[in-house]
Amino acid sequence: MLVQRQVFSMPSFTTQSGKTLKDVRIGYETYGTLNAARDNAILICHYFAGTAHAAGKYEETDPLPGWWDGAIGPGKTFDTDRYFVICSDMLCCIPVFNGKVVTTGPATTNPDTGAPYSIDFPVIRYSDIVGVQKALIDSLGIQKLVATAGPSAGAVQALQWSVQYPDMVPRVISVIGPGLSMGAYGTIMGDLWARSIYTDPDWKGGRYAPKEQPIKGIIETTRQAAVAAMTEFTVMAQLGGLAAAEASKPPEDSILNNYLAVNTVDMMSKMNAGLCDANHFLYLIRAAQLFSIEDQIQHAKAKYLFIPVLTDTISLVSANERAVKAVREAGLRADMAVLNTPGGHLDGLTRLPEMKDTITAFLNAD
């Protein structure tokens, strides 16, 4: 499946906090075909450090397809023979220098000043991220979606949609999501991830030049997120376990010698960090910390499917159980299906196709 990034722009957008941004742009991709009635669209939302590239390849020669390619395509969980699937870059999308992402955030040039917004960019909430997506969906002539869905921060968007535009969202699929709020522990964890950037002298109070990123801080933030998403299984099966990085330098000989798995995580973190803007990380962490729809769930008209992973230590099964309870107490339908796989949070990306039958039934039922 060959795909291309498209661009949606709007002349201005006013945030929940009342700040107006001019010339707001986000990238998006679509898979499948919008039918004549324009009623077969599913909005897929991306995870924290993800992008709109949810499926397919740009060129046949791309080494990897989009991040949920196993679940989006002809005959797959989100069947593009039947559904028109849309995924858009978030506001403040993190890997802003990967050559494809189109987003508006602190790294964007403020048309009023000709300089990047930097930390003068307003604090955004998930309601703002979803508000811009809503304008994109409107622009496609779609009045009602079949469902919103996404993993992790994508689940947060999918959930936010259901309380913000209840008439447009009959179904929500929350995969490895936090429940109906980020919670206090998620807020502390967010700070832990953000802190490496805040304490990097090159962050300069947020006012670094876009090409002079606080790269050391970004690397550590990237590493935090990567490690939190792993488990014992991931490290053993995919990262080389406890082998020495260099056979002639075993870890037991010197604290300066290291493990192959540690060096692999280090290499991955450095590679990913080079694509990112530091302030975009900080703004999306704050947006996550501010997320709560606990007081709004009664406005929703959707039914919900929560899919946590049993071994996930970021998005706990217990938090999803609480969400199911809260949704039901609001008089709405909610079910949970636990993905019983060993790879933790990351399995919400790679193992979702194992939930195909459950998701298909959920999408088919009224």
Is residue 366 annotated as a catalytic residue, yes or no? no
β-strand partners of 9 = 25
**Least distance to its own copies, CB of residue 123, Å:** 6
Near its own copies by CB under 8 A: residue from 152, 196, 221, 315: 196
Q: Under the criterion CB under 8 A, does residue 43 sit at the interface with its own copies?
A: no
Q: Under the criterion CB under 8 A, does residue 74 sit at the interface with its own copies?
A: no
**Least distance to its own copies, CB of residue 188, Å:** 5
**Which listed range, 149-157, 163-171, 258-266, 298-306, lies at the site for its own copies (CB under 8 A)?**
258-266
Q: Under the criterion CB under 8 A, does residue 259 sit at the interface with its own copies?
A: yes
Identity of the residue, 62 or 191, whose beta carbon is nearer to its own copies in the bound complex: 191
d(CA 255, CA 267): 19
**Least distance to its own copies, CB of residue 31, Å:** 34
Is residue 92 within 8 Å of residue 105, measured between CB atoms? yes
Catalytic residue among 88, 127, 152, 269: 152
Q: Under the criterion CB under 8 A, does residue 14 sit at the interface with its own copies?
A: no
d(CA 318, CA 308): 9
Q: Under the criterion CB under 8 A, does residue 209 sit at the interface with its own copies?
A: no
**Least distance to its own copies, CB of residue 101, Å:** 20
In b/e form, how buried is each residue of 271-294, taking b as 16+ CB within 10 angstroms?
ebbebbbbbbbbbbbbbbbbbbbb
β-strand partners of 268 = none
Place of tokens 């980020």: 182
Identity of the residue, 127 or 148, whose beta carbon is nearer to its own copies in the bound complex: 127
- Chain positions 107 to 136 lying near its own copies, rule: CB under 8 A, are 119, 123, 125
Taking the C-alpha atoms of 254, 255, 259 and 264 in order, what is their torsion angle to the nearest 10 degrees? Answer: -130
**Least distance to its own copies, CB of residue 68, Å:** 25
**Which listed range, 76-84, 143-151, 162-170, 190-198, lies at the site for its own copies (CB under 8 A)?**
190-198
Interstrand relation of 72-73 and 78-79 (parallel, antiparallel or unpaired): parallel
Binding map of its own copies across residues 282-311, x = CB under 8 A, - = no contact: xx--x--xx--------------------x
Q: Residue 119: is it exposed, middle or buried by C-beta count within 10 angstroms (0-12/13-18/19+)?
A: middle
Query: What ranges in 113-168 are assigned the alpha helix state H?
Result: 126-139, 153-164
Near its own copies by CB under 8 A: residue from 60, 167, 252, 366: 252
Is residue 179 within 8 Å of residue 319, measured between CB atoms? yes
Identity of the residue, 140 or 262, whose beta carbon is nearer to its own copies in the bound complex: 262
In b/e form, how buried is each residue of 323-361, taking b as 16+ CB within 10 angstroms?
bbebbeebebebebbebebebbbbbbbebbebbbebbee
Is residue 152 annotated as a catalytic residue, yes or no? yes
Residue type at 182?
A: M
Cα angle 23-25-27, degrees, rounded to a multiple of 5: 170
Q: Under the criterion CB under 8 A, does residue 95 sit at the interface with its own copies?
A: no
- Name the residues that contact its own copies, by CB under 8 A: 17, 119, 123, 125, 183-185, 187-189, 191-192, 195-196, 199, 206, 216, 220, 223-224, 227, 230-232, 234-236, 239, 241-242, 251-256, 258-259, 261-262, 265, 279, 282-283, 286, 289-290, 311, 313, 318-319
Mind telling me the catalytic residues? Answer: 152, 312, 345
